Amino acid sequence: MTKNKTLRNALESGKLFTAMAAHNPLAAKLAEEAGFGGIWGSGFELSASYAVPDANILSMGTHLEMMRAIASVVSIPLIADIDTGFGNAVNVHYVVPQYEAAGASAIVMEDKTFPKDTSLRTDGRQELVRTEEFQGKIAAACAARRDSDFVVVARVEALIAGLGQAEAIRRGLAYAEAGADAILIHSKQKTPDEILDFVTAWPAKVPLVLVPTAYPQLSEADIERLRKVGIVIYGNHAIRAAVGAMRKVFRQIRAEGGIRAVDPLLPSVKDIIELQGDASMRAVESNFLR
Ligand code: SPV
Ligand code: MG
């Protein structure tokens, strides 16, 4: 079964699909190893790994090449975060087949203006495009995909922009009507109440996607009980785990003036060599090196 079909079937099954953020192929391999259903090709994480803000500063090419590198080392579906689609519907029509060819099984596109500002920052600049314009961008994404199992997710930023539930529902329905396979509804409230109100009011069959970063109290079991959510995305836990782990180890080495105490606490060099795909290289060597 193709990765696209795996994701499409998961979305149609009614069971909750889990996707973990990754900013490089190694993080994606670790997410697969841990048992996540798919990878979230996060713009926030990739921006952070370049130490720049998540505000369309990195080019489409930089993100696309990372998606290609990630897709080539995992066997689970990759959901690519294409931010606002890098322009208007014409840009989206060009971009979607590029992501499909790079091995992504889905794109998520948000209804903000280009260049965007990151969603979870307090007082970020959150401007939305007209509903009709974004419907055109979603329709362009659907028309441009080559495989009908490639999933197009429309992301509603109305709650992030403080426009309220009625506007969020109105936009979600308009994007579903334009052909979106799922609707991502995002919130930066510190409790799940705002999202739970949206989910309760959501009147359509089109599944929802949640990113519970700001309201971590909501577990997968809680989300499953809502019966309207197809995908949960863990948006930035790979980069935050990496930052926390590196900071701690770097400080310990400085404090102790060496690596003696820290060494046994770290994954072994052998572990890293295995993650590099050493076994398959050795197989190639023994077959072809003459
Ligand atoms: C990302 O991970 O890039 C996202 C999710 O889009 S968030 O950062 O919460 O907007
Ligand atoms: Mg993003």
> Residue 81: pLDDT band by 50, 70, 90 thresholds?
very high
pLDDT band, residue 119 (cuts 50/70/90):
very high
CB 126 within 8 A of CB 162: yes
How many separate helices (H) and strands (E) can be counted in the chain? 12, 8
- Classify the phi-psi angles of 87: left when phi > 0, otherwise alpha if psi is within -120 to 50, otherwise beta: left
User: In this structure, what DSSP letter does residue 112 have?
Assistant: B
Ligand 1 close to Cβ of residue 120 (< 6 A): yes
Phi then psi for residue 158, to 5 deg, are -65, -40
Predicted confidence at residue 212, as pLDDT, reads 98
Segment 143-172, tens digit of pLDDT: 999 999 999 999 999 999 999 999 999 999
CA-closest residue to ligand 1 atom 8: 44
- 84 — alpha (psi -120 to 50), left (phi > 0) or beta? alpha
Residue whose CB lies within 8 A of the most ligand 1 atoms, among 23, 40, 44, 122, for a mutation test:
44
Q: How far is the CA of 13 from the centre of ligand 2 (A)?
A: 26
Q: Is the CB of 213 under 6 A from ligand 1?
A: yes
To test the pocket of ligand 1, the residue of 23, 54, 58, 111 to mutate (highest count of ligand atoms within 8 Å of its CB) is 54
Helix (H) or strand (E) holding 168: helix 165-177
Catalytic member of 54, 111, 149, 181: 54
pLDDT at 56: 97
pLDDT of residue 114: 96
CA of 146 to the centre of ligand 1 (A): 26
- At 273 the pLDDT is 98
Nearest to 184 by CA among 138, 230, 242: 230
Cα dist from 90 to 127, 245, 266, whole Å: 20, 42, 48
pLDDT one-digit tens code per residue, 7-36: 999 999 999 999 999 999 999 999 999 999
- The tens digit of pLDDT for each residue in 169-196 reads 999 999 999 999 999 999 999 999 999 9
CA of 256 to the centre of ligand 1 (A): 37
Residue nearest ligand 1's atom 10 by CA: 119
Q: Could you tell me if 71 and 103 are in contact, meaning their C-beta atoms sit under 8 angstroms apart?
A: yes
Only one residue has tokens 């539930």, namely 165
Each residue of 222-273: pLDDT tens digit? 999 999 999 999 999 999 999 999 999 999 999 999 999 999 999 999 999 9
Per-residue model confidence (pLDDT) at position 18: 99
Q: What pLDDT shows up at residue 28?
A: 99
The question of whether 193 is a catalytic residue gets the answer no
**Res 13: pLDDT:** 97
Answer yes or no: is the C-beta of 103 below 6 A from any ligand 1 atom.
Answer: no
pTM of the model: 0.98
Tell me, what's the pLDDT at 178?
99
- What pLDDT was estimated at residue 282? 97
Instruction: Give residue 46 CA to ligand 1 midpoint distance, Å.
Output: 10
Cα 52 to middle of ligand 2, angstroms: 13
* Of 122 and 203, the one with more pLDDT: 203
Count the Cβ atoms, other than its own, within 10 Å of residue 179: 16
Q: pLDDT category, 86, cuts 50, 70, 90?
A: very high
The alpha carbon of 46 is separated from its chain's Cα centroid by a whole number of angstroms, namely 11
In the chain, pLDDT over 90 holds for what percent of residues? 99
pLDDT at 63: 98
CB of 56 within 6 A of ligand 1: the answer is: no
> Contact at 8 Å (CB) between 40 and 67?
no
Q: Which two tokens stand for residue 19?
A: 């996707």
Q: What is the Cα–Cα distance from 283 to 289, expressed in whole angstroms?
A: 10
